[in-house]
Amino acid sequence: MRRPNIVLILADDLGYSDIGCYGGEIRTPNLDRIGRSGVRLSQFYNTARCSPSRASLLTGLHPHQTGIGVLAGNNAPGGYPGSLNDRCVTVAELLGDVGYATGMSGKWHLSGPLWEPADSWPTRRGFSDFFGTLSGCGSYYDPATLYRGEQDASDETRDPRFFYTDAITDHAVDFIGREAAAGRPFFAYVAYTAPHWPLHAPEDDIAGYDGVYTAGWDELRARRLDRLHAEGLLGTESALSAPDPAQPSWASAPHQTWEARRMQVYAAQVERMDRGVGRILDRLAASGVSDDTIVVFLSDNGGCAEILPLGDPGEFRAGRHIVPAATREGAELRVGNLPGVDPGPEDTYASYGPAWANLSNTPFRLYKRWVHEGGIATPFVVHWPAGGLAAGRIVRTPCQLTDVLPTLLAAAGVTYPSEHRGHEVPPLEGRDMTPALRGEPVQDTWLFWEHLGNAAVRRGRWKLVREHAAPWELYDLDTDRSELTDLAGHHPDVVAELATAYQAWARRVGVIPRG
């Protein structure tokens, strides 16, 4: 059989409603094109944070089984190793073993060692062609831990035209063109860092959103929900959640011009990523392989409410985020959300804050790190004309990251092994989504989440969820997708059943309890 090509595109910290075909006002014509002509899932879930989501996406396991329960970086002896372990197998390893060319462009964030090659680096987990970063985030003008293969590529940032989003696209386009010309099936994993902070974008892109965000987060949340309804992604079960009570209304927000600028830069980051997606789609078309290429797009978690700096600025620069102390030209970096300092240029290092993250996650509540809908709901687009997935269909079957690998393996005709390179590997935790993607009815299944003590379990209409150390909450997602009315007190039997299932799952996959 002719194996399909696969392009897996992952955004970083993108909210459920940010792109156009999911209700956003951000210009994303390329994602909208494949979304509206392919298949969109209205209830697809990530695992609430970057490293765990990547681990689950690439292995078909829950992140705790892979060694990455929180983030990359060793938290032993009381925590997770923080590197992809040898008891899991990646999609790149599996596809490479059957003759696929495997290339990765962008953010890895699945290895504790960042400076010396290790068995958890992408080059040693199935990717024969790698360009990107190992760390979790960094400047778009001068990213840290930049490699080609296992060679330091930081010299490439000296080019004044260098911008990381474009560099990721460049590598992906070159890889696809080369392998398509060679006639080999290929797997391209394109892991953008956009729109993760820092808020960096070229000024022309930012100016394209002049005036768009002066309406403020309250009005724009309502508009996004209207468009989500119009797209057919959500219905009356998804009312607009109340604004974050810790944030001001737009009418009472100070520094409105600066606030609007923050969201302008975020939107510009997303649009530039979409432009890169357009270049990838164009290369597929020019190579004559569009129809038989599976293109998947999703985000690793919900919109991010983090406020910079996360701690002491000195510690922030020296810690896991690897923030440079100065720009390439030697100018001092202005770290933090500073009213009057417009984000975007290289000498700024800012985030967009909780109120705009609340907009990104419309209509849901809470954010990245939480396992309420705002933290785990993601846009999920699949486009594969030759596979019968080009009907403009919206699928409402609940699915999560563990389902992606079984789906890709089924499409490629690859059998998942019980052991790999001398190591026993756990069975896949998810299931092939293809029947659901084709509009066929499928049975309900259990879905589970845990991150930093935030926990959830879903079965059919019922979702049991809690914040760390807080009581369980119960929601009927068929009537209350936005999790507004806690029914735990009305259905203690359902709470008990789901809580028991969660505890059994947590023990089985190795969740480390948090004190």
Strand partners, 475: 463
Decide: residue 469, CB within 10 A, 0-12 exposed, 13-18 middle, 19+ buried: exposed
Annotated active-site residue 50? The verdict is yes
On the CB side of 340, CA atoms within 13 Å amount to: 0
The beta-carbon contacts of 307-314 under 8 Å, at least 24 apart in sequence, are 307/337, 307/351, 307/353, 307/354, 308/197, 308/198, 308/335, 308/336, 308/337, 308/349, 308/350, 308/351, 309/335, 309/336
- Taking the complete model, does pTM exceed 0.95, yes or no? yes
CB 171 within 8 A of CB 131: yes
Spatial distance between the Cα atoms of 26 and 28, rounded to a whole number of angstroms: 6
Cα distances (angstroms) measured from residue 45 to each of 15, 193, 203, 386, 464:
12, 19, 33, 26, 15
Spatial distance between the Cα atoms of 296 and 403, rounded to a whole number of angstroms: 13
pLDDT computed for residue 157 by the predictor:
95
Question: What letter represents residue 511's amino acid?
Answer: V
Annotated active-site residue 137? The verdict is no
How many residues belong to the chain? Answer: 515
Spatial distance between the Cα atoms of 10 and 188, rounded to a whole number of angstroms: 11
* Per-residue 3-state assignment (H helix, E strand, C coil) for 18-31: CCHHHCCCCCCHHH
Scan for tokens 């800012």, then name that residue: 350
Question: What letter represents residue 290's amino acid?
Answer: S
pLDDT computed for residue 311 by the predictor:
57
With residue 313 as reference, give the H or E element that holds it.
helix 313-318
Which residue out of 50, 88, 137, 399 is catalytically annotated? 50
Angle at 202 between CA 199 and CA 204, to 5 degrees: 125
Strand order in the sheet with 473-476: 446-451, 454-459, 462-466, 473-476
Phi-psi region at 163: left, alpha or beta (left = phi > 0; alpha = psi -120 to 50)? beta
Which residue out of 62, 64, 88, 109 is catalytically annotated? 109
Residues of the chain whose pLDDT is less than 50?
313-319
Spatial distance between the Cα atoms of 228 and 247, rounded to a whole number of angstroms: 24
Spatial distance between the Cα atoms of 92 and 103, rounded to a whole number of angstroms: 8
Q: How far apart are the first and last CA of the chain?
A: 52
Phi then psi for residue 407, to 5 deg, are: -70, -45
Spatial distance between the Cα atoms of 213 and 207, rounded to a whole number of angstroms: 12
pLDDT computed for residue 310 by the predictor:
67
Assigned token pair, 455: 């926990």
Beta strand extents in 213-299 (DSSP E only): 293-299
* Percent with pLDDT over 90 in the chain: 89
Neighbours of 149 (CB within 10 A): 14
Phi then psi for residue 102, to 5 deg, are: -125, 120
Spatial distance between the Cα atoms of 444 and 372, rounded to a whole number of angstroms: 20
pLDDT computed for residue 515 by the predictor:
67
pLDDT computed for residue 252 by the predictor:
97
Angle at 440 between CA 436 and CA 444, to 5 degrees: 60
pLDDT computed for residue 318 by the predictor:
39
